[in-house]
Every structure is written in structure tokens, then in C-alpha cells.
Amino acid sequence: MRGASPAPGRPRPVAGLTGSWRPPIRGTVALWVAVLSPLAACGFPSDPDPWTEKLYVTSGFDDRVYVVNGTTGIVLDTLRLDPRLGEVDEPHGVAVHLGTGYWYATVSHGTPTLWKFELATDRLVGRVALPQTGASRIGLRPDGRTALIPDYFRGAGGRPTSVAIVSLDELEVRGTVELCEAPHDAAYAPDGRRAALTCSLSDEVVLFDPEDSTAAQRTPLEPGARPMNLAWSHDGSRVFASLMGKDQVVQIDGASGVAQGRVDTGEAPAQIALEPDGTRLAVANRRGGTVSLVDTRGLRETRRIPVPGPSPHGVAWSASGDRLFVTYEGATDGTGGIISLDVEGTVLWHTPLGAYVLGVASGLVPTPPR
């Protein structure tokens, strides 16, 4: 086993919460955006040596985001997202946009918020309060200018809860839409005009236009299906949703909203991620203690890999597509963490982190000169 990290050190308070943060120099931001923008348009660089892959990992019970080197598993930094000292605020969702050079995290409890950071420096740019009870995952529009954030509130008593539409340039909530009960994940289609939404308590997936949600298309599922997380195919013709209550992933037509088929995975699939070339899905099976690889062309599971940690939750692919990063929550009295696997199932590194480890997102930055 390679590169296991030492126990994380003392977390660094997020600059800006203590009055020490100053806005980054605009020229610096522009430089990083210019460097990173070609990655979004042309794919990842063929020579990875000049680039460092950074992972952002949310830890819900200790209010931290860990920054981890994707090659070695070493913890590079620890950010404390903890507005209410002594309370659990739960950093939950995390997302990276290479083209704009920013990454984002949600804090779910207290006053739910979206936080924005520079990818190059991990400096806080700002945050915005969300008009909801519990913020979950972050759906970034392909151009990186807008985000959809569902209100995963399971105590609404059958009432719909909202999806916030956030302008990321201004960090302002532009509006909300109410489509179903306890939505958990919202994801823009590759064309940026449509989006999909998983509705965990009403057991449906909804396709909608965030600018005009009146013509939403609903895909009803059987009671107890509990759709949770989403991934679109690269061409936008299909959307995949994990069904935590049925141990399956469902494929839905991206235009009509018609369910086209299902594939069995491990028990209680949570987050799913599409391989960079679009041919496979990785599925973290929370109760099954595994990660599934699913062929998107034939809609079949090709491999099921054990995860050495309880309750796998988040999953992301490396930029090169030859490795997986899988988080596990940990037991109620133990530590969660993150592992790196190759596609054959070999553990490359294993890093214990905090408590109730949830999401993971990957970003590339230029490697500093040695």
C-alpha cells in the first residue's frame, strides 16, 4: 500500500472568517483562469507531470474540508468550515470547475450556505446563504456560471422543498424552484439548458429547464426506490440515477424522461461518477461496502470492488481515468477516510480523515517548480 498519510494536523481556519482574509489579486485569478480554461475545452493534458491532482473531501461531523494529493494520498491542507463553533454544520457537497478555476462546498446545517474558493490557492472568495433547510449536492452548469443546490430536507411532511439557483459570479441566489419532496442531487445536462433532479421521498426523477420549470418531465419510480444521485452521458442523451432503496442504477432517456433500463449494483448505491471517456460509471455502494463499475453502453456491472472502510459514500475518477477515489463515512465511533483504487481493484493508497466523510471532487493545478 503506497503513500498512506499521517493523521491530519490541526485544521486551518478558512481565511475570511477571522477577519484576516483579503480578496485575491484580480490579475492572479485571471492568470489561473487562463491556464485552466483550456482543460475544460480540450480535455485533460496528456502529460500529467506539470499538473497536481488535488482532491477536496468533505467531512460532515468535524466541519472540515480536507485537501488531499490525488497521487500520494497526503493531506495538503485542512479547511475548517465551521460557522457555529461547537455545533455540527456539516460540509456536504463539493464540486470543482476547472474552466473558471474555482471550487465550491455546501454547509448543510445552521444557516445553509454555498462557499466559493480559488482552485489555485484554496483561498475563500465568498459565501452565500441559501433559502432552504438543508443544502446537499452542487450541480454546476457546464460554463461554471450557475449552480443548482437542492434542499434535502426529509421532514417537510410531504411538501415540496426547493432547489436554489445561484449565480456564481455574484454569489447571489437568483431564484428557487419547487418540484418535489426532499431532492438530493441536481445536475445540468451537457448543453446547459436542461437539468435532472433526484427526488428521494417522492421516488421520481425530474427533467426540467431551470429557467422555466413549468414543463418538467417526471419519471415515476416504485415506492421505496429512493433516487439519490445523478450522472449525465457526455452527449446528453441519457441520465443515470442511483436508487438507494433498490440497489440499482436506472438509465433515463435525456429527452423524453422515459426509464430505459436498470442495472443491479451493490447494496444502497450512493454517489455515482462518469469516467472521463464516458464508457463506465463508478458507483459507491454505501451499505454493500463496495464500489461497482458499470458499462454504460451495455448497462451491465463489470466489476464490484470491496472498499476497506465502512459505508462508501463519494466517488470520483482521476483526470486520466485509470484510478478511482472513494470516500467512506466510517463507523459511528470511528474514523472515515478516502482510498485510491486502480480499475482492477488494487488499493494504491488509503488515508484516514475525519468523521462522517462524504463527498469528493477532483481538480488539477500546475505543479509548483521544485
| Residue 60 contacts residue 92 (beta carbons within 8 Å) | yes
pLDDT tens per residue, range 66-88: 999 999 999 999 999 988 887 88
Q: What's CA 177's distance to the chain center, in Å? A: 21
Give me the domains of the chain, ranges plus CATH numbers.
12-366 (2.130.10.10)
| Residue 149 contacts residue 186 (beta carbons within 8 Å) | yes
Residue-by-residue DSSP string for 45-77: -S--TTEEEEEEEEETTTTEEEEEETTT--EEE
Torsion angle, CA of 3/93/271/5, rounded to 10 degrees? 10
Q: How far is CA 89 from CA 12, 220, 248, in A?
A: 16, 33, 31
> What was the pLDDT predicted at 16?
42
| Residue 171 contacts residue 128 (beta carbons within 8 Å) | yes
Read off the pLDDT band of 248 (50, 70, 90): very high
Alpha-carbon gap, residue 200 to 223, rounded angstroms: 10
What's the pTM?
0.87
> What was the pLDDT predicted at 345?
96
How much is the average pLDDT of 160-168?
A: 95
> What was the pLDDT predicted at 2?
40
pLDDT tens per residue, range 306-364: 999 999 999 999 999 999 999 999 987 789 999 999 999 999 999 999 899 999 999 99
Read off the pLDDT band of 240 (50, 70, 90): very high
pLDDT tens per residue, range 85-109: 878 899 999 999 999 999 999 999 9
Residue 22 has pLDDT above 60, yes or no: no
Residue 146 has pLDDT above 90, yes or no: yes
Read off the pLDDT band of 49 (50, 70, 90): low
| Residue 356 contacts residue 363 (beta carbons within 8 Å) | no
Candidates 255, 256, 196; CA nearest to 227 is: 196
Q: What's CA 268's distance to the chain center, in Å? A: 17
Residue 155 has pLDDT above 80, yes or no: no
Q: If you average pLDDT over every residue of the chain, what do you get?
A: 88
